[in-house]
Amino acid sequence: MTDLANYVDTVACNARKAATDLTTATGEQKLRWLKRCAATLVSRADEIVAENAKDLTAGEDKGLSVAMLDRLRLTPERLQSLADAVIEIGQLPDPVGEIMDSTMRPNGLLITKVRVPLGVVFFIYESRPNVTVDAAALCVKSGNAVILRGGSEAFHSNAILYSVIKDGLKAEGLPEYAVQLVNTTDRAAVGEFLKRGDQIDVTIPRGGRSLIERVANEATMPVIKHFDGICHVYFDASADQKMATDIIINSKCHRPGVCNAAETLLLHKDVVQGFWPAVAAELQSQGVELRCCPVSAAGINGAKPVTDEDYATEYLDLILSVRVVDDVAEAVQHIRKYGSGHTESIVTEHLPTANFFQTQVDSSAVMINASTRFNDGGVFGLGAEIGISTDRFHARGPCGLREIMSYKYVVHGSGQIR
């Protein structure tokens, strides 16, 4: 074995052992650990900010964009928010051992379905160093050991945040290797970890499409993937004008750079000549570039023609594709053809139309008269999220504690045989 393979093997074995040891950790112990981490993030803020400054300087030298540098930056305020988030995770009900379902059988057997950790999580992420703490908190709270592989641009920030986590684990008597940070930025290390399907139960890559595709191709264990969010708002003939306008503006403009922002507006043909021009003007006043089909372009100053490629594009920017459809069925056809199964919203007052849309649209979230922006772990009451899954297998949509867990059946008998 190469040195790298040896290193990866040691980390994976330590994680597996820690996952087993975590089965005896109590909820109280985990909560004390999270509280300790939160307190240390605040008390050691100066040190953390100083280490973060090294990454920021290196990032400037490497020519990272202003947006990237901002994502990388830690401030005392941001550390306080991070500490608050950690406390919030601590206060969620402990999901380990929760009885999800139970059946009493005629022969007196009580069948219980009990939530248990998946085991070992390999988590790959980029730039934002606060994710290091969030991911560690979510994984250990759910009884999983985690191997963290952060981005090289956050090397110093991740290292000091990891020391906070690790010192806390020791101080509270939790398994030392419950959280491990990969200490090499060698890209080949990821490949080595992906071979360890016997020791790692799931890999979660959070980053661009090329990273996720590479991981999905190489992994020998299940992967929770997060691909594009090409989200649609369908503006039905029966929609309330004010509500539709608010939802379209919010879905597109609230945070255009995130995955649950809308990229395409589908307009029922009856609303085009009615209030579409007013909505278009409002979108344009917010700086949105409109790329319109011929019918929706009519009479809209500055509208550009939309292409098939546009319909299949996640702009992540203040650009909106606009297409007129005959009815909800055509809207659904469009979404099936171009959507990515992330989030779609319908604005309608007509109940059968809403029902048709919600049963026919197969996306992780279908919003009826609400902004696409609500597809989020916090909003859905999951507490926090380690990612959003665009898969259909195991976890779909926002992934909080439960989505990185499995279950087992515990059967209580009194001597039953078959």
What are the two backbone dihedrals, phi and then psi, of residue 23, each rounded to the nearest 5 degrees?
-65, -20
Pairing of the two strands 99-104 and 110-117: antiparallel
Plot region of 397 (φ>0 → left; ψ -120 to 50 → alpha; else → beta):
left
**Cβ proximity to a copy of itself, 95 vs 222, nearer residue:** 222
CB of 317 to a copy of itself, least distance (A): 18
Rank residues 105 and 170 by Cβ distance to a copy of itself and give the closer one. 105
Task: Report d(CA 406, CA 257) in Å as an integer.
Answer: 33
CA distance linking residue 84 with residue 81, whole number of Å: 5
Whose Cβ is closer to a copy of itself: residue 4's or residue 216's?
216
Radius of gyration of the chain (CA): 24
Instruction: Report the nearest approach of a copy of itself to the CB of residue 167 (Å).
Output: 28
Residue 157 burial (CB < 10 Å; 0-12/13-18/19+)?
buried
Q: Which is nearer to a copy of itself, 146 or 164 (CB)?
A: 146
Rounded CA-CA distance 2/362 in Å is 46
Q: Which residues contact 49 (CB under 8 A, 6 or more apart)?
A: 74, 75, 76, 79
Question: Minimal distance in Å, beta carbon 243 to a copy of itself?
Answer: 4
Q: Which is nearer to a copy of itself, 80 or 112 (CB)?
A: 112
Q: Which is nearer to a copy of itself, 85 or 202 (CB)?
A: 202
Residue 63 CB, nearest distance to a copy of itself (Å)? 33
Least distance (Å) between residue 399 CB and a copy of itself? 12
- According to DSSP, residue 182 is labeled -
Q: How far is the CB of 362 from a copy of itself (least distance, A)?
A: 7
In the complex with a copy of itself, which residue's Cβ is closer, 6 or 20? Answer: 20
Contacts for 391-397 with beta carbons within 8 Å, 24 or more apart?
Answer: 391/224, 391/225, 392/341, 393/222, 394/222, 394/224, 395/224, 396/364, 397/364, 397/365
CA–centroid distance for 147 within its chain: 18
Minimum CB distance to a copy of itself, residue 370 (Å):
3
Helix (H) or strand (E) holding 82: helix 76-91
Nearer to a copy of itself, 132 or 372 (CB): 372
Pick 19 or 190: Cβ nearer a copy of itself: 19
Q: How far is the CB of 171 from a copy of itself (least distance, A)?
A: 24
DSSP secondary structure letters along 203-272: EEE-S-HHHHHHHHHH-SS-B-------EEEEE-TT--HHHHHHHHHHHHHS-TTSTTSEEEEEEEHHHH
Q: Which is nearer to a copy of itself, 107 or 307 (CB)?
A: 107
> Which one, 192 or 391, has the nearer CB to a copy of itself?
391
CB of 57 to a copy of itself, least distance (A): 35
Residue ranges that bind a copy of itself, judged by CB under 8 A: 20, 23-24, 97, 103, 105, 109, 111, 116, 118-119, 201-202, 222, 240, 242-243, 246-247, 249-250, 254, 336, 358-360, 362-371, 373-375, 379-381, 392-394, 396-397, 406-418
Residues sharing a CB contact under 8 Å with residue 106, sequence separation 6 or more, in sequence order: none
Q: At its nearest, how many Å lie between a copy of itself and the CB of residue 413?
A: 3
Are 156 and 183 contacting, i.e. CB atoms less than 8 angstroms apart?
Answer: no
Q: How far from each other are the two terminal CA atoms of the chain, in whole angstroms?
A: 50
Q: Which of 129, 131, 130, 136 is nearest to 152 (CA)?
A: 129
State the minimum distance, in angstroms, from the CB of residue 410 to a copy of itself: 5
